Amino acid sequence: MTYKDNEHPEWTDRLSDFLDGGLDPETHAAFEAHLGECGSCRGVLEGLDEVRRRAAALGPIEPTRDLWAGIAATIRAPAAGAAEGATVIALPTAERARPDIGSRRSHRVSLSSMQLVAASLVLVVGSSLATLTLRSQSPTSTPPVAATGSEGVIMPAGTAAPPPADLALELSSLEQALAEARGVLDPNTVRILERNLSVIEQAIEDSHRALMQDPENAFLAEHLDRVYHRKLEYLREAARVVESAD
C-alpha cells in the first residue's frame, strides 16, 4: 500500500499501533525519539490522530423515516394481526436483472389468478420463448421482505416460525449443544457456523412470512418444511464439527 507522505514507512506503518498504545515500551520509546526529530512522521501522526478523534465523535444516524411500523407489524402475534385486520402495503419489488436472451423473441405474459381462471386454466404461448411473470398480483402476495423502500411494509407475520413437530425436539437439543460448544471451538469456526446458520434462519423467516400471508399455499408449506429439514441437517453437521473438535 502506498500512502501519501509516507517518507519513513518503517515508522509510519506502525503509527496506528503507537497511537493505540499497542507497542511494547521499548519500541514506543524509539517511536517517541524518532517523532521528536522527524517532522514528516509527526505530521502523519497528527493526521491519524485527527481521523481517530473525529471517528470517535461520530454519532448516531437516525433513519429518515420511521421504521417502527414495519417492525411492530412483523413482531405482532398473527392472531392479533388478523383480528385488527393488519394493513398490507405492497412495496415495489426490487427489479432483477434479466438474463441476456440475445436475439430471441421474448414474449412476457403476466398472469394474475383471474386471467388464468378466465382462460380455463389453459394457456398456450406459441412462441419460441415464453415468459410468465409470477410476481405478486394481489394484496395477499406481497414480496417476501420485511421492509423496503420508503413506505414500510406491514406484514401480518407472527413471531419466529415454529418448527415442524417431528423436528422440534432434535432441533432444540442440537441448537443447545451447539451453543454450549461455542467455547471449545475456535472463533473462526464459530463465525462460519453462525454465518451459515443465519442464512438458513433468514430463509425460514422469509418462508414463514410468506406462509403467513398465504396459509393455504402448499408450495410455501413444503418450502418451509424443506428449509427446516435443511437446518436440521446443518445442525447435525455442525454437531459433527463440534465432536471432532473435542
Partner 1 sequence: MGQRVPEHFEQSDVRRAAEGDHAAFERLYREHVGRIHALCTRMVGSDVADDLTQEVFIRAWRKLDGFKGQSKFGTWLHRLAVNHVLSRRETIRRRESKQAFGEGILSRVVAPPRRSSGHALDLDRAVRRLPERARDVFVLFDVEGYSHDEIAEALGVSVGTSKSQLHRARMLMREQLD
Partner 2 sequence: MRTRLLSIGLLGIVTFPLPAQTNPRAEHAEHPGASFTTMLGARHMSTMVDTLVELRPGDRVVLENLTGQISVGSWDRNELEIRGADDGVPIMVRRSGSTVRVVRDDRKGRRHALDARIRMPASHDLRVSGSLDLWIEGLSGSIDVDNVSGDIWIADADGQVSVRTIEGEIDVVRSRGGVTASSQSDDVRLRDVRGPVDAHSGSGDVQLMEIVSARVRAETQDGDITFSGTIDDGGDYGFFVHDGDAEVAIPADANARVEVSTFDGEFISDFPVVLQRFTGGREFAFTVGAPRARITIQVFDGEIHLQRR
Q: Which residues bind partner 2 (CB under 8 A)?
A: 93, 96, 98-99, 101, 104, 106, 111-113, 116-117, 121-138, 141, 143-144, 186, 189, 192-193, 195-196, 199-200, 202-203, 206-207, 210, 214, 216-220, 222-223, 226-227, 230, 234, 237-238, 240-241, 244
Span near partner 1 by CB under 8 A; candidates 6-14, 101-109, 116-124, 135-143: 6-14
CA distance 205 to 60: 28
Nearer to partner 2 (CB atom), residue 21 or residue 99: 99
- Please state the closest distance from residue 220 (CB atom) to partner 2, in A: 6
Tell the residue number behind the cell numbers 501519501, with chain if given: 4
- Interaction residues for partner 1, span 24-83 (CB under 8 A): 44, 47-48, 50-52, 54-56, 58-63, 65, 67-68, 70-72, 74-76
- Please state the closest distance from residue 199 (CB atom) to partner 1, in A: 7
By CB atoms closer than 10 A (0-12, 13-18, 19+), residue 35 is: middle
CA distance 47 to 37: 17
Q: Which of 49, 65, 68 is nearest to 57 (CA)?
A: 49
- Interaction residues for partner 1, span 171-200 (CB under 8 A): 187-188, 190-192, 194-195, 198-199
By CB under 8 A, name the one of 40, 140, 148, 217 that touches partner 1: 148
- Please state the closest distance from residue 76 (CB atom) to partner 2, in A: 22
CA distance 153 to 149: 8
Nearer to partner 2 (CB atom), residue 55 or residue 117: 117
Residue 9 engages partner 1 in binding (rule: CB under 8 A): no
Q: Phi, psi (5° rounding) for residue 105? A: -75, 135
Give CA separation, 105 vs 25, 110, 122, 133, 220, in Å.
Answer: 73, 16, 22, 16, 32
- Please state the closest distance from residue 176 (CB atom) to partner 2, in A: 19
User: What's the chain's Rg over C-alpha atoms?
Assistant: 28
CA distance 69 to 105: 44
Tell me the residue type at 139. P
